[in-house]
Structures are given as structure tokens and as C-alpha cells.
């Protein structure tokens, strides 16, 4: 059973190779090969899950020389990620088979898609750090080919170049981290590394390893201010965006979760992650609100969601971060693939009449109701025995529910609508707690529990709670102030993503005068 | 507003030039309910050759097929030697020259430069792309109909742009420092700002019209969308200044880039203005391009003539058991032919699919008013789905709950909660959509018409006369609209009924069937000389053009008509199968049994071909065309000139359905030959913006027209542009009389946008209209032109 999780990347890679060596004719059934390979990967993932349930976490033998080679880790993290990636991979490959029909380079496209998925599967199922690094770099390289599927598009080239630069930093940081780990600990086995870090047997430079891992994750997951490429890569066919946002961009978060024990040993790095993540989450979400193009809005939302996931890592809530990655992947893959429905959706929104605007009183009542809901449902789930990080995160999510309730409490909202939004809020809260509880229980023993809070952690918690509470109030009272002339400037700056991309365009020489240039 | 400002003569000339330039821009309708528009609508009043030259200079793209495509058609024999000689003669060229030209590359015809291009040439910085990106960034939010959660303030374009651009720091970062401050200092009145920019550019009134046109072309879809606002406003007797404000905005960039440059740029600009001021004239090379297209047009005309003269038409059945009226849409042709084949006792009728009822419809639980009528008409009849207030309210609460959940999903802080609480649900949604299991939406309640009886009778009479259906009613008459069930398609409305304003035709068909079943209306019709037998019943239907199934709305049909209904159902089912077999051959990966599934497949970019291939319009009794395979390429409008004593019906046909058909044919033409100017680009890269249109990829301007996949099958064009041939079965003088009354319609034929031919008594294509007279089609055109 120990080789199960290597089967997925293998068959995906074989199918990719088949596409390159024997490009199928248009509409030939061979174009289904990558899709079938992803089903094999999915089945292997399911068997691995069974194995995990029956015999617990394990790492297969390393096939290779010294610390270098392939080995598969079977635990909650690798199995959950494998299942997610294989499933999303199947969906996007199936989509591509039909959507790209008639493109002369469809076989190449299917091949690079399969290769990218192979890379991600190799990465998430890795039992050793070297394999993980290989998967990491391979994913970036194959994705690059997909981003340049239409190489004549200047905007595609610009975005791919930004992504390549970002990928370079991320890869360099990861290679340094892996080098330090293998050099310092004498092993590349991930489970051993985590166990040693947990026991305090790490090398002296463990903080540097953690910092490099954090750096790699920030660049790979496109957190602000390294997000430029992510919000500009709608220049490749829709399935690429779906795969990228659902399967590739969260590799950064996966890395943090994979080396959770290493990170817990470096509290300073965790605090940095919480700050960078939280900032990305709030900025990305605010920018997404102002975007009138559907894919652009979705891309900014990914930037925000990745930020939120990294914030969870920063609070050492690794099981929740894993849950977030999986849930977000599923949601975002669907959102991108179905983005053609946006015309209909926008028309549908206008149909039942104007949106009722809650006044300040209604907002205050919603906050009260949401907190009461949190308290009641939380008690049922035994919240009092949870670490403060978990409680704080729950509160942040409840701030979101406030918005749902407030919509039903607006003066002009009919009573029936009020009841329904309250009902939805209760369901959402229960679902959230149940999933959170489930993830935490399932991850016990695999992922470290959050450390007891010290001053730094308390500061992080208070800062996160405060800023998200402020954002929630702003969000809920939004219609009351968004039209005010004083906010017009803020809107313009947010629409432009606070010009971070304009600055990076300038640094990359887009606006530099070229003498004698002509095109 | 600002009525106190008085303008000097020079500025007034420039205003006139702007007006002239804005009329060159065709309207683009929002995708929510889009209809085909002739992309050269602004040029129809000049000859096609001049228009092509104008568009080339303005950067509006080519107007004709590329030469290598025509060369390939000559190679395969699709375009014959005779077609070439005819076309050459019509353009005063020799056939040999023309044939040679097909194999030689056309000389490039670059657009005239703007100041942005001058600046680019001088500095190497891509200023045209920068200006396009900045204006698009603002315009996307300005014209957003509900995509962004935090919308732009609802103000006019100029005020909104001024507020935006005076705060936007991007231009400073890109090296055009001081632009925001410059905008801040601009007048609040767009006209004053326009005059200022023109003064800064020293713009001469002779250069202005073409220069303004060129600037509007750089704004592509945004200008066309703004033009739709003014076009619709003018149609309804109003006025809209958005397009003028857009032009003013584009001018500000020109003025800023002019001031950024030095004396050299000013000198270059002065020379450039002379180019703009020169009259538009085609060169010899362009003439060859046009003549080659003419050869393709002639080949299309020849093929239609061959089809119509091929063999003898079967005699029409005595009294049909069932009559079926379908839309003139070319997709109906296949179904009509199949229906008549499987049951010869069914007679079909072609009529514009809104069935003469230009309605403003409100669907169940909806505040949105849908203009289900050809866009040429201002819809004047209010209709709504008739449901009880209680049903309406509860449906609204349900829709608003869904909306509240949708807002929860997208709002800033709640999006995180949404993902953690509901993300796993998407396993199910992904499975459902990947496997194409999404269910169809339920039936909408029957629509009701709120109109006084006299008006109802008047409408019914007008419609029946326009259909040439005033006697010989069968016991059962089907009134059938059409629509396309597709999913995940931004351009879904382009596949719906154009005569219904980009909606499906079910509502209009149901309204007409109900109207004609009303006893009071029938009594009134009897007084006007139209007697509908008491045992005649009308039933409405909807033809799904993806699956070719017809759904019947037969709730109100009495039991006495069950036998006819069963017969109709059987025939429709068989006809659908026949049609699918024929249609599957033309579709990539097409198989007759999987066509319906294509509409449910979220990854299918070619669910059906829409009206691709359309190339003819025939106004004649159906007997003229029965049994002939027109390949789903011809609009068929029933018309009997013997019943049309004052030519009123012919007038209606030539001014409305023919114009709509020409808009459709020319839209397909434009999207096929000038995809960069009049095509929506690659569906794989579509990024829906504002709920109104698409961007291709990450930015650029709004892309109007049809996507590349809608006109190209991946290997070759799915729509080979060939001029629409309008064939009318009526005496030649009668047609000329109508044309003389309508100079704008006549211009379409005189200027080479459409071909007009008369059907002769044998039912084949007779003589061709040319500049107010008729010429024999087979005579060498050169001799005819000398004679004329």
C-alpha cells in the first residue's frame, strides 16, 4: 500500500507523455486518457484513505539513493490533498476535452494540464522533502507552459513573466529550506523532520528554515504584495484558471501545513505569516468587491482566501487551514468553470427588486444575534475547552454571518425573508462548527495543536479580531457609506489594487522608454 | 445644463464633426438580451467600396474575406470563372487581373495614427495600449450592471470619469506625470472639456470627422455600447450623450500626450491632420479585395438560384390538416422542411418570430421589463406572466433569499465563512455540472395581454394580413417561436430569437395563439373580412434550436382537437429527429442523439451554429420553396403579392424583416472577416464584464459581436460571408415603388450591402436589381452597366 500515492502522479505523467508523443486527432478518444488517468489517481487516493483509516499514518520506503528519491506519505494531509487535486483534475480535464475541441494545440494543452496535475500530486503525496521540492518546481514549470498557451498575447507573456519571477523566488526559498533541513537533520523524511522539530531536536537554523518555508509559501500562494501574476493570468483558457486557483496556488498553504511542526518551533515566523495572511485577506477581499469583471473578481477573491488560509496557519490552526484549502478548491474550481453564467447571474440579481438596506440599528441587532448564535452553537460544540486561537477564528467567521442576518433584518425586508436568512445563518454556523470539529479531530496526532498563547500570539489574535470586526462592520453598513463622495477615492485606489501591480509593471520596465522601439 | 455657454463657429463645426463620427459607430446591445447589429450600420448610406476604405483608415478592420480564402474557394470550384468575370466586370476590372490578385497578398492598410501612436513612435512606450487599458478600467465599472459589489457612483460618463481619473495614480506611475491634476482642472461640462481638448490639439474641422471616428474605433466595444444607449434613446424619442462624453474622454488623453511631447510631435501631428482631412478614396488594391468578395457573393447568389431552379416544385396540398407558423429564422427552414416531409398534410408558414406583438414583458416574480420585439421597434404593449399575488410574493422571497446567500458568498468578511461552511457542497455541484445533470427550468406561467378589445382586434387583423393568412385556416394552427437551451454561455442571447429582442419566442407565440382563440377577437375579425372557422384552434409552441424538440403549450386546447394534436406531436417528433440528423453533420463531434445534451454541457463552446451560414431571404408563398433543400441558410417569409393590393405588406417586409436579416447576415460577416473589430474573440478566454459583455482575457476593451467559435469550427469558417440575397416574389415595378418610398432601404441595395432579385413566374430567380433598374443575371455585367 505504501506506493499507492505514487501511482497517481505516475499515470498522470504517462498520460501527459502520451499526449506529447502521439498527439491524438481532433475528437479522438485518446483525448480522454488524461481524464482516465485522473480517475486512477482518484481511486488510488480513495484506497490510500482506506489504508489510513485501517492502519493509520505511514510513510512508504524511499526508492532512491540516500535522502534523494521517491516515497509516499499516507496521512490526513496527503490523502485529503490527493483526493481534492485528483477530483478537481478530473473535472478540469473533462471540461478541457470538450471546450478546447477545435484548438490545433489541444493535445499539447491536455498534456501540459496532465503534467501539472502530476506535479501537484507528486508534491502533495511526497514522503520526503526532496520529492516535495521536485514536485514544487515541476508544477511551476508545467504551469508556465499553460499560461503561455497563447504565446502571441502580450498580456499573457507579461503575466507569465511575473509568475515565473515569483516562482523563482518561491523555488529558491524552498530549495534553501530543504537543503538546510536535509543537511541539518540528516534525513529527508518529512514525518521524521516534523517529529524531530516537535521534540526540539532540530538544527540550530530551524528558524531560518521556517522563514524560508514561509517565504516560499507567500510567493507561491500569491499573497499581497506578490499577487500581481495571479490577478492577471486570465490570459489562458478557463480550465487553466480553474486548475491554477483550485489546485496549484494553494501549494504554499500545503507547504506550511506539511511542515507544521517546523513552523510551530518558530513563533516569530508564525506571527509574520498571520500578519501577511491577514493583510492579504482583507485587502484582497476589499479589492474583489470593486471588480466589474467576473474572473478578475474571482482572482482577487483567491488572493484573499489564500491570505485567510495563511492567517490560519499563522495562528497554528493547521487542520482548519487544510479544511479551508479543500473547501476553497472545490468552490473556486466551480466558480471559474461556471463563470460564463455571469451574464445570467447579473440579470437574475436585479429581477426580484432592489436589495433592502439595513440601517445601523438592524446592523447592531445582527451583531447581537450572530454572537448569541455563536455562543449557543459554540457551547453545543464544547467551545469552552478550545484554545483561544480557535475561538478567535470562530468569531471572525461569525462576523461574516452577521452580514447574512443583516440582509434579512433590513426594514424593507419582508418577514418571510428575515426568517429564511436567520435559518440560513443557523445552518451555516452549524455546518462551519461541524466541519471545523471534524477537521480538528481527524488531524489529531498528524498536525500539531496550537501552542498556549503567549504575548505575541495574544497580540496577533487581538489584531486579527479587531481588523476583521472593523471590516465586518464596514461591510454590513456598506450601502450607508459607499456612495459618500469621500469614499470615491478609496474605491478608485482599491479598484487599482492599491497600484501594487502598476508599480511592478514599472519595475519590470513596461513603461520604460525604449529607443528606436517599434511595434 | 450650461445653456449659457456660447460656442464660436469653429467649435460648432467640431460638434457637428463629432456627431458625424458618432453616427459611424454601430450600436452593441448588452449580452443580457443581445441582438445582431450590422457592424457597418454607420456606413450603409455610402458605397461598400468607400466604406471599406473609410474603415481601413479609421482602423475598423477589413470588410471582406482574406484573399487566400477566396483563392481556396476558386481552387475548389466554389467560386467559378463566371463568378469572377461577373465580379470583375461589376468593378470595372479584368477577370484575369482579379484571378491573379487572389493569389497575391493584399498590401497592408494601416490605420491613421492618433497622438497616442505618435507618442509611442517617439518614446517606445505603448501609449495606445495604456490609454485603452485606463479607459477600459474605468468604463467596465461605469457600465457595470451589477457584477461588482461596490459599484461606481451612478452618474454620467464624463462626471464619473473625471472623478476617477483625477484620483487614479496609475498614469503617474507609468510616466505621464500630472495627468490626474490635469483632469482635476478640467471643466465639469463635457462640451467645454471637448472644446478645450480640440483647442489644445489645434484640431482643424476638416480633419475632425475621420479623426473622431478613429478615436471611437480605438474604444471598440465601449463606444459601441455607448452608441446603443443613444441609438435606443433616439428610437424612443430621447437623447443620450454618453458616446459624446466617451469621445471627450479619449480626447483628453490625446491632448495630454500632445502636451507631453515637444515640437517634433506637434509637427508630426500637423502632417497627420492633413491625412485625416483628405477625402476617403479606395485604392486599386482595395478595389481588388472588394471585387474578390463580390465574386464570392455572386457564387452564393448562383447557388441559391440553382437550388430554386432545380427540378419542379411539388404542388401544394389541397387543404392542409394542420398549419404551422414558424419564425423566419434560418434555423426554422430545416424543421419546416422536415415537418412537411414527414407529414405532407402539414403546411408551414414563415413569419417574424415576435408574431407582430412588440411587447414589454414582465416575467413571474420579476421587476425587469424585457423588450421582446425587434430592436427597430419601440415596444409598446405591456404584458406579464399571469400568476397570483401570493405566488408572486413567495417566489420573490425565495429569489431574495438566494440573492442574500449569493451576497454572503461574495462580501468581504463573509466570503471566508462561506467557504468554510459551504465549500464542501461544491463536490456535488462539480459532479452535477461535469456530468451535465443540471435540470431544465420549469414552465413559466401563461402570459397575459392587457389591451382593449378594439386594439386586440386591430392587432390580430394586422398580424394575419402581414402573414398572408386570411383564409384557408386548418383545424389546428401551430404558432411556434424558438429559443436555445444552453448553459454557461455568455452569448446565450445571441442564439435566441432576434425578432424577440434576444429572448426566446415562447411568450409572443403564446400571446398570439391566445389572442386568436378569443371569441370576441374572432367576431371582430369577421367584421373586417377575416373569418376564422369556429373549429379552428391555435396552439403555441417553442422550438428548441439546440435539440430541435418543440414544446407545445396545449393546456387550453379542447378535447375535440386531440386527434390533430396527436398527429402534430408525432410529426414534430419525427421532424426533430430528421432535422437533428441533418444538423449533426455540420457540428464538430455532432451526433444526432447527443445534440440535446450539448445544451446542458457547461464545457460545450459550439452547442449549435446559430444563424451561421445565412445567405438568403425569400419573401414568397411557401409553395415556391417547398421540398427544396435550402440547408438552413435562408430566411423564409411567407408573402403573396396578389393579396397585397397597396403593397403595404411588401413595404413592411422590406423595411423590417429584411433589415433585421441584413443585420444578422452582416454581423456574422463582420465577426468572420474582422474578428478584432467586430468579433467577441476566443470563448476560452472570455471574462464577462459588468453583466453586459466580455473582455478577452485580462483586459482590453469590451468585445462586441460574435465569438470566434461561433463563426469558425476550428479548421475553417463556419460562416462563409456572402452577401445576403433578398429574393422577392412580386412584380418588379411593385418592388421599385416600395424602394422609392424608402430611400434608406434602397441604399442597402444600391450601395452593395445586399443583393435584391425578383422571383420569376417559374419560381426561380429572375432579374437582379441594380441602381433603380433590373438587369438580367446572366448577361455580362459590363454590358449591362453600359446599357444602364
List the single best residue of A163, A295, A343 to mutate versus B (max B Cβ within 10 A).
A343
Band of pLDDT at residue B234, cut at 50, 70 and 90: very high
Q: Is the peptide bond before A150 cis (omega within 30 degrees of 0)?
A: no
Candidate from A324, A483, A511 with C-beta closest to B420? A324
Q: Which chain A residue has the Cα nearest residue B34? A: A343
Band of pLDDT at residue B1, cut at 50, 70 and 90: very low
Q: What is the pLDDT of residue A272?
A: 95
Chain B hits for A331, CB-CB cut-off 8 Å, are 418-419, 422-423, 426
Cell readout for B425 is 457542497
Higher pLDDT, A380 or B115: B115
Chain B hits for A519, CB-CB cut-off 8 Å, are 126
Q: Which residues contact A54 (CB under 8 A, 6 or more apart)?
A: none
CB contact under 8 A, A353 and B396: yes
Give the three-state DSSP class for A369.
helix
Averaged pLDDT, B252-280: 95
Q: In angstroms, how far is CA A236 from the centroid of its own chain?
A: 19
Q: Tell the residue number behind the cell numbers 514561509, with chain if given.
A: A214
Averaged pLDDT, B100-120: 93
Whether residue B787 is predicted with pLDDT greater than 70 in this model: the reply is no
Q: How far is B41 from chain A (nearest CA, A)?
A: 26
Q: What is the pLDDT of residue B784?
A: 39
Q: What is the DSSP string of B88-136?
A: HHHTT--HHHHHHHHHSPPPP-PPPP-HHHHHHHHH-S-HHHHHHHHHH
Chain B hits for A377, CB-CB cut-off 8 Å, are none
Averaged pLDDT, B32-56: 95
Distance CA(A472)–CA(A400), nearest Å, equals 7
Q: What is the pLDDT of residue A514?
A: 58
CB contact under 8 A, B426 and A330: yes
Q: In angstroms, how far is CA B662 from the centroid of its own chain?
A: 9
Q: Which residues contact A148 (CB under 8 A, 6 or more apart)?
A: A156, A157, A160, A236
Model confidence pLDDT, tens digit, residues A317-341:
999 999 999 999 999 999 999 999 9
CB contact under 8 A, A347 and B691: yes
Residue B397, phi then psi, degrees to nearest 5: -60, -40
Model confidence pLDDT, tens digit, residues A384-442:
888 999 999 999 888 888 888 888 888 777 888 889 999 999 999 999 999 999 999 99
Cβ burial of B405 (10 Å; 0-12, 13-18, 19+) is: middle
Candidate from B149, B173, B414 with C-beta closest to A502? B173
Candidate from B401, B421, B686 with C-beta closest to A431? B421
Whether residue B765 is predicted with pLDDT greater than 70 in this model: the reply is yes
CB contact under 8 A, A339 and B688: yes
CB contact under 8 A, A334 and B399: no
Q: What is the pLDDT of residue B129?
A: 93
Q: What is the pLDDT of residue A335?
A: 96
Averaged pLDDT, B650-655: 95
Q: What is the pLDDT of residue B316?
A: 59
Band of pLDDT at residue A383, cut at 50, 70 and 90: confident
Whether residue A473 is predicted with pLDDT greater than 90 in this model: the reply is no
Q: Tell the residue number behind the cell numbers 419546416, with chain if given.
A: B336
Q: What is the pLDDT of residue A354?
A: 84
8 A C-beta contact, residue B352 and residue B499: yes
Q: How far is B195 from chain A (nearest CA, A)?
A: 27
CB contact under 8 A, A352 and B400: yes
Give the three-state DSSP class for B552.
strand
DSSP 8-state class, residue B680: E
B:362-381 residues touching chain A, CB 8 A cutoff: 363, 365-368
Q: Which chain A residue has the Cα nearest residue B403? A: A349
What stretch of H or E contains B351?
Answer: strand B346-351
8 A C-beta contact, residue B779 and residue B787: no
Give the three-state DSSP class for B312.
coil
8 A C-beta contact, residue B718 and residue B711: yes
How high does pLDDT run on average in chain A?
Answer: 91
Q: What is the pLDDT of residue A516?
A: 42
Higher pLDDT, B83 or A512: B83
Q: In angstroms, how far is CA A306 from the centroid of its own chain?
A: 4
Whether residue B450 is predicted with pLDDT greater than 60 in this model: the reply is yes
Distance CA(A300)–CA(A359), nearest Å, equals 29
8 A C-beta contact, residue A496 and residue A220: no
- Judge if ipTM > 0.85: yes
User: Which percentage of chain A shows pLDDT scores above 90?
Assistant: 68
Q: Which residues pair with B384 in a beta bridge?
A: B362, B448
Model confidence pLDDT, tens digit, residues B664-711:
999 999 999 999 999 999 999 999 999 999 999 988 899 999 999 999
List the single best residue of A236, A241, A322, A352 to mutate versus B (max B Cβ within 10 A).
A352
CB contact under 8 A, B145 and A516: no
Chain B hits for A29, CB-CB cut-off 8 Å, are none
Averaged pLDDT, A285-299: 94
Whether residue B3 is predicted with pLDDT greater than 60 in this model: the reply is no
Is B436 near chain A, with CB under 8 Å? no
8 A C-beta contact, residue B718 and residue B612: yes
Q: Which chain B residue has the Cα nearest residue A27? A: B589
Whether residue B783 is predicted with pLDDT greater than 70 in this model: the reply is no
Q: How far is A261 from chain B (nearest CA, A)?
A: 24
Cell readout for B469 is 393568412
Model confidence pLDDT, tens digit, residues B134-161:
999 999 999 999 999 888 888 999 999 9
Distance CA(B698)–CA(B753), nearest Å, equals 35
Whether residue B193 is predicted with pLDDT greater than 90 in this model: the reply is yes
Give the three-state DSSP class for B222.
helix
Q: Which chain A residue has the Cα nearest residue B123? A: A513
CB contact under 8 A, A334 and B709: no
Residue B550, phi then psi, degrees to nearest 5: -115, 125
CB contact under 8 A, A414 and B170: no
Is B429 near chain A, with CB under 8 Å? yes
Q: What is the pLDDT of residue A507?
A: 82
Averaged pLDDT, B414-433: 92
Chain A hits for B148, CB-CB cut-off 8 Å, are 289-292, 297
Strands B706-707 and B699-703: unpaired
A160-169, A467-476, B434-443 — which is least confidently predicted?
Answer: B434-443
Q: What is the DSSP string of A254-298?
A: HHHHHTHHHHHT-HHHHHHHHHHHHHHHHHHHHHHHT--BHHHHH
CB contact under 8 A, B403 and A352: yes
How high does pLDDT run on average in chain B?
Answer: 92
CB contact under 8 A, B417 and A517: no
From the list B211, B289, B256, the residue with the least C-alpha distance to B13 is: B211
Is B389 near chain A, with CB under 8 Å? no
Q: Which residues contact B245 (CB under 8 A, 6 or more apart)?
A: B156, B157, B158, B161, B190, B226
Q: What is the pLDDT of residue B311?
A: 64
Q: What is the pLDDT of residue A517?
A: 38
CB contact under 8 A, A290 and B419: no
8 A C-beta contact, residue A432 and residue A309: no
Q: Which residues contact A242 (CB under 8 A, 6 or more apart)?
A: A88, A91, A92, A95, A332, A333, A336, A337
Distance CA(A346)–CA(B32), nearest Å, equals 9
A156-165, A320-329, B293-302 — which is least confidently predicted?
Answer: A156-165
Whether residue B33 is predicted with pLDDT greater than 50 in this model: the reply is yes
Q: What is the pLDDT of residue A205?
A: 85
Tell me how many residue pairs between chain A and chain B have CB atoms under 8 A apart. Answer: 361
Is B434 near chain A, with CB under 8 Å? yes
Is B153 near chain A, with CB under 8 Å? yes
Candidate from B145, B394, B416 with C-beta closest to A308? B416
Averaged pLDDT, A48-56: 94
Candidate from B123, B140, B698 with C-beta closest to A232? B698
Q: How far is A374 from chain B (nearest CA, A)?
A: 13
Cell readout for B417 is 465563512
Q: Which chain B residue has the Cα nearest residue A476? A: B411
Amino acid at each position: 500500500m505504501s506506493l499507492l500515492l505514487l501511482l497517481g502522479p505516475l499515470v498522470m505523467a504517462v498520460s501527459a507523455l502520451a499526449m506529447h508523443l502521439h498527439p491524438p486527432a481532433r475528437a479522438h478518444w485518446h483525448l480522454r486518457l488524461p481524464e482516465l488517468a485522473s480517475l486512477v489517481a482518484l481511486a488510488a487516493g480513495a484506497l490510500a484513505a482506506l489504508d489510513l483509516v485501517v492502519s493509520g499514518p505511514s510513510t512508504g520506503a524511499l526508492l532512491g539513493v540516500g535522502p534523494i528519491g521517491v516515497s509516499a506519505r499516507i496521512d490526513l494531509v496527503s490523502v485529503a490533498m490527493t483526493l481534492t487535486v485528483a477530483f478537481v483534475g478530473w473535472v478540469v480535464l473533462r471540461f478541457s476535452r470538450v471546450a478546447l475541441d477545435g484548438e490545433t494545440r489541444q493535445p499539447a494543452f491536455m498534456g501540459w494540464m496532465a503534467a501539472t496535475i502530476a506535479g501537484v500530486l507528486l508534491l502533495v503525496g511526497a514522503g520526503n522533502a526532496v520529492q516535495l521540492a521536485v514536485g514544487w518546481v515541476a508544477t511551476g514549470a508545467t504551469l508556465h507552459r499553460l499560461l503561455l498557451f497563447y504565446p502571441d498575447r502580450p498580456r499573457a507573456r507579461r503575466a507569465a513573466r511575473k509568475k515565473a519571477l515569483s516562482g523563482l523566488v518561491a523555488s529558491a526559498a524552498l530549495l534553501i529550506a530543504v537543503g538546510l533541513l536535509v543537511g541539518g537533520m540528516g534525513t529527508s523524511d518529512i514525518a521524521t523532520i516534523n517529529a524531530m522539530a516537535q521534540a526540539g531536536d532540530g538544527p540550530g537554523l530551524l528558524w531560518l528554515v521556517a522563514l524560508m518555508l514561509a517565504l516560499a509559501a507567500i510567493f507561491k500562494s500569491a499573497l499581497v504584495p506578490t499577487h500581481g501574476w495571479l490577478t492577471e493570468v486570465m490570459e489562458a483558457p478557463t480550465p487553466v484558471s480553474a486548475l491554477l486557483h483550485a489546485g496549484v496556488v494553494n501549494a504554499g498553504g500545503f507547504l506550511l501545513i506539511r511542515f507544521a511542526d517546523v513552523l510551530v518551533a518558530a513563533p516569530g515566523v508564525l506571527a509574520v505569516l498571520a500578519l501577511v495572511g491577514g493583510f492579504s485577506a482583507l485587502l484582497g477581499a476589499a479589492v474583489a468587491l470593486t471588480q466589474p469583471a467576473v474572473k478578475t473578481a474571482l482572482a482577487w477573491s483567491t488572493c484573499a482566501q489564500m491570505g485567510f488560509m495563511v492567517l490560519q496557519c499563522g495562528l497554528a490552526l493547521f487542520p482548519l487551514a487544510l479544511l479551508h484549502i479543500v473547501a476553497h478548491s472545490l468552490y473556486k474550481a466551480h466558480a471559474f468553470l461556471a463563470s460564463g453564467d455571469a451574464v445570467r447571474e447579473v440579470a437574475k440579481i436585479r429581477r426580484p427588486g432592489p436589495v433592502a438596506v439595513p440601517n445601523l440599528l438592524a446592523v447592531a441587532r445582527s451583531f447581537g444575534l450572530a454572537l448569541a448564535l455563536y455562543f449557543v452553537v459554540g457551547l453545543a460544540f464544547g467551545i469552552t475547552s478550545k484554545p483561544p486561537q480557535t475561538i478567535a477564528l470562530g468569531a471572525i467567521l461569525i462576523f461574516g454571518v452577521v452580514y447574512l442576518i443583516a440582509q434579512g433584518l433590513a426594514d424593507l425586508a419582508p418577514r418571510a425573508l428575515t426568517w429564511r436568512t436567520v435559518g440560513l445563518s443557523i445552518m451555516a454556523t452549524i455546518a462551519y462548527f461541524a466541519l471545523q470539529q471534524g477537521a480538528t479531530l481527524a488531524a489529531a496526532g498528524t498536525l500539531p495543536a496550537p501552542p498556549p498563547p503567549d504575548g505575541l500570539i495574544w497580540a496577533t489574535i487581538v489584531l486579527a479580531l479587531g481588523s476583521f470586526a472593523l471590516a465586518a462592520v464596514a461591510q454590513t453598513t456598506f450601502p450607508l457609506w459607499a456612495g459618500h463622495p469621500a469614499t470615491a477615492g478609496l474605491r478608485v485606489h482599491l479598484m487599482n489594487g492599491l497600484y501594487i501591480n502598476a508599480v511592478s509593471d514599472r519595475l519590470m520596465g513596461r513603461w520604460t522608454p525604449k529607443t528606436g522601439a517599434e511595434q | 445644463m450650461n445653456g449659457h455657454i456660447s460656442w464660436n463657429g469653429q467649435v460648432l463645426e467640431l460638434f457637428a464633426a463629432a456627431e458625424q463620427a458618432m453616427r459611424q459607430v454601430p450600436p452593441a446591445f448588452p449580452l443580457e438580451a443581445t441582438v445582431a447589429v450590422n457592424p457597418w450600420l454607420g456606413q450603409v448610406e455610402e458605397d461598400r467600396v468607400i466604406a471599406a476604405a473609410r474603415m481601413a483608415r479609421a482602423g475598423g478592420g477589413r470588410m471582406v474575406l482574406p484573399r487566400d480564402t477566396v483563392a481556396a474557394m476558386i481552387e475548389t470550384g466554389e467560386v467559378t470563372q463566371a463568378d469572377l468575370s461577373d465580379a470583375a466586370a461589376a468593378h470595372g476590372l479584368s477577370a484575369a487581373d482579379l484571378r491573379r490578385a487572389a493569389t497575391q497578398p493584399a498590401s497592408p492598410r494601416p490605420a491613421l495614427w492618433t497622438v497616442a501612436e505618435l507618442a509611442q513612435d517617439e518614446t517606445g512606450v505603448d501609449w495606445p495600449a495604456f490609454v485603452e487599458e485606463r479607459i477600459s478600467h474605468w468604463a467596465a465599472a461605469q457600465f457595470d450592471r451589477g457584477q461588482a459589489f461596490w459599484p461606481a457612483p451612478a452618474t454620467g460618463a464624463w462626471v464619473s470619469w473625471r472623478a476617477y481619473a483625477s484620483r487614479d495614480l496609475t498614469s503617474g506611475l507609468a510616466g505621464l506625470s500630472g495627468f490626474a491634476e490635469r483632469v482635476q482642472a478640467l471643466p465639469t461640462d463635457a462640451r467645454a472639456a471637448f472644446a478645450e481638448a480640440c483647442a489644445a490639439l489645434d484640431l482643424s474641422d476638416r480633419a475632425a470627422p475621420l479623426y473622431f471616428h478613429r478615436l471611437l474605433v480605438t474604444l471598440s466595444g465601449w463606444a459601441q455600447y455607448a452608441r446603443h444607449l443613444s441609438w435606443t434613446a433616439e428610437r424612443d424619442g430621447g437623447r443620450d450623450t454618453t458616446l459624446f462624453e466617451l469621445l471627450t474622454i479619449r480626447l483628453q488623453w490625446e491632448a495630454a500626450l500632445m502636451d507631453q511631447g515637444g515640437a517634433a510631435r506637434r509637427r508630426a501631428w500637423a502632417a497627420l491632420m492633413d491625412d485625416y482631412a483628405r477625402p476617403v478614396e479606395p485604392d486599386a488594391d482595395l478595389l481588388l479585395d472588394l471585387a474578390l468578395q463580390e465574386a464570392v457573393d455572386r457564387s452564393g447568389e448562383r447557388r441559391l438560384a440553382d437550388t430554386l431552379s432545380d427540378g419542379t416544385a411539388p404542388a401544394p396540398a389541397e387543404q392542409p390538416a394542420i398549419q404551422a407558423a414558424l419564425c423566419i429564422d434560418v434555423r426554422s427552414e430545416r424543421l419546416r422542411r422536415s415537418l412537411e416531409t414527414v407529414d405532407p398534410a402539414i403546411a408551414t408558414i414563415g413569419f417574424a418570430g415576435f408574431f407582430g406583438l412588440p411587447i414589454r414583458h414582465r416575467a413571474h416574480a420579476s421587476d425587469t421589463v424585457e423588450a421582446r420585439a425587434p430592436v427597430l421597434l419601440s415596444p409598446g404593449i405591456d404584458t406579464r406572466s399571469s400568476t397570483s399575488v401570493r405566488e408572486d410574493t413567495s417566489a420573490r422571497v425565495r429569489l431574495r433569499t438566494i440573492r442574500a446567500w449569493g451576497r454572503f458568498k461574495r462580501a468581504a468578511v463573509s466570503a471566508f465563512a462561506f467557504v468554510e461552511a459551504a465549500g464542501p457542497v461544491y463536490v456535488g455541484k462539480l459532479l452535477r455540472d461535469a456530468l451535465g445533470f443540471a435540470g431544465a427550468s420549469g414552465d413559466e406561467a401563461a402570459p397575459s395581454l392587457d389591451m382593449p378589445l378594439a386594439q386586440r382586434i386591430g392587432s390580430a387583423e394586422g398580424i394575419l394580413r402581414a402573414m398572408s393568412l386570411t383564409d384557408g385556416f386548418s383545424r389546428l394552427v401551430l404558432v411556434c417561436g424558438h429559443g436555445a437551451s444552453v448553459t454557461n454561455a455568455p452569448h446565450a442571447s445571441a442564439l435566441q430569437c432576434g425578432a424577440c429582442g434576444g429572448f426566446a419566442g415562447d411568450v409572443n407565440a403564446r400571446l398570439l395563439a391566445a389572442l386568436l382563440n378569443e371569441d370576441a377577437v374572432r367576431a371582430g375579425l369577421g367584421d373586417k373580412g377575416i373569418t376564422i372557422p369556429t373549429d379552428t384552434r391555435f396552439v403555441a409552441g417553442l422550438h428548441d434550436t439546440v435539440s430541435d424538440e418543440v414544446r407545445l403549450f396545449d393546456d387550453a386546447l379542447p378535447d375535440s382537437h386531440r386527434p390533430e394534436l396527436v398527429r402534430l406531436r408525432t410529426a414534430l417528433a419525427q421532424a426533430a429527429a430528421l432535422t437533428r440528423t441533418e444538423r449533426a453533420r455540420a457540428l464538430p463531434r455532432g451526433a444526432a442523439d447527443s445534440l440535446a445534451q450539448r445544451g446542458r454541457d457547461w464545457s460545450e463552446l459550439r452547442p449549435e451554429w446559430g444563424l451561421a451560414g445565412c445567405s438568403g431571404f425569400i419573401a414568397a408563398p411557401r409553395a415556391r420553396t417547398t421540398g427544396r433543400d435550402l440547408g438552413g441558410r435562408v430566411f423564409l417569409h411567407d408573402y403573396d403579392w396578389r393579396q397585397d393590393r397597396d403593397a403595404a405588406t411588401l413595404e413592411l417586409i422590406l423595411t423590417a424583416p429584411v433589415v433585421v436579416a441584413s443585420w444578422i447576415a452582416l454581423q456574422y460577416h463582420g465577426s468572420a472577416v474582422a474578428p478584432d473589430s467586430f468579433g467577441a474573440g476566443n470563448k476560452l478566454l472570455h471574462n464577462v464584464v459588468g453583466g453586459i459583455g466580455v473582455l478577452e482575457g485580462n483586459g482590453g476593451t469590451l468585445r462586441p459581436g460574435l465569438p470566434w467559435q461561433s463563426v469558425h469550427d476550428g479548421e475553417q469558417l463556419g460562416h462563409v460571408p456572402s452577401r445576403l440575397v433578398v429574393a422577392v416574389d412580386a412584380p418588379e415595378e411593385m418592388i421599385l415603388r416600395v424602394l422609392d418610398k424608402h430611400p434608406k432601404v434602397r441604399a442597402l441595395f444600391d450601395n452593395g450591402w445586399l443583393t435584391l432579385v425578383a422571383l420569376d413566374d417559374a419560381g426561380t430567380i429572375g432579374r437582379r436589381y441594380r441602381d433603380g433598374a433590373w438587369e438580367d443575371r446572366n448577361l455580362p455585367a459590363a454590358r449591362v452597366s453600359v446599357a444602364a
